[in-house]
Amino acid sequence: MPASHEKIPNRALSGYELAQIIKKKVDEKLSRDGMFTVNIAYERVSFEVMVTVHMDNPHYPQHVSQILSTGPSKQEVAKNPELGSLETFPLSGNLEDEIVFGEETKVVIQSPNMARVENDLPILEQKLDLGTGQLKNRNIMYKGDMPDPAEVGNSTEVVNKSEEAKANINKRKKGKK
């Protein structure tokens, strides 16, 4: 607990901090997903990653960042033949025999400082120097026991979107003809 001359403001997350939180969530998801283990192989594959950020800003309520796979160059495949299976999104041809899987993970952040603690990011501490009367800032890291994120309003929800992903890809393909 901070002393009376110490303050820990719950300042807004910076874009860099939000990117670190998103990267950690994606990395955790991929490390637990059975489709990304060493014993799974893909003869042909393409991918789409979409990050949608909903903000409390009436002038810019949502930001979407989309990443699509692109095929490697002939030189890249010559150096690393495994890259030959990576194709431009969406896969060409009929998807009836292809496996399409999708998942949506929703993360709600109500407390920026709690999100920082959960994701091992530093929190700014402001401390009043009693000798000079000036505020001094320093970054601190919290480790150990953490409160339940649900108690502070942060939540994570995972929804299977495989069928919807397959339908969307087929719609895109029909529109390209």
> Lowest-pLDDT range, 8-22, 40-54, 87-101?
87-101
Scanning the structure block, which residue is given the tokens 């530093």? 122
- Asked whether residue 14 is assigned to any structural domain, the reply reads yes
Q: What is the pLDDT of residue 35?
A: 86
Q: What is the pLDDT of residue 155?
A: 67
Mean pLDDT of the chain: 80
Considering only CA atoms, which of 62, 38, 53 is closest in space to residue 107?
53
Answer whether residue 112 is part of any domain.
yes
pLDDT of the residue at 72: 87
Contact between 116 and 101 (Cβ < 8 Å)? no
Question: What pLDDT is recorded for position 177?
Answer: 45
CA angle 167, 173, 174 (to 5 degrees): 90
Main-chain dihedrals φ then ψ at residue 150, nearest 5 degrees: -65, -30
Identify the three-state secondary structure at position 38: coil
82-95 pLDDT tens trace: 888 888 887 777 65
Question: Does residue 91 lie within any of the structural domains?
Answer: yes
Confidence of residue 148 (pLDDT cuts 50, 70, 90): low
In the prediction, which pLDDT does 22 show? 92
The number of domains in the chain is 1
Picking from 75, 73, 55, 77, the residue whose alpha carbon sits closest to that of residue 64 is 55
Which whole-number Å values give the CA distances from 122 to 20, 55, 128, 137, in the listed order?
12, 22, 19, 12
Range(s) of the domain holding residue 15: 6-30+39-176
Asked whether residue 87 is domain-assigned, the answer is: yes
DSSP characters over 13-28: PPHHHHHHHHHHHHHH
Q: Could you tell me which residue, 81 or 148, shows the higher pLDDT?
A: 81
Q: Is 84 exposed, middle or buried (0-12, 13-18, 19+ CB in 10 A)?
A: middle
Establish if 1 belongs to a structural domain: no
- Model confidence at 110, in pLDDT bands (50, 70, 90)? confident
137 or 170: which leads in pLDDT: 137
Residue 99 in this model has a pLDDT that exceeds 50: yes
Q: Are 51 and 64 in contact (CB under 8 A)?
A: yes
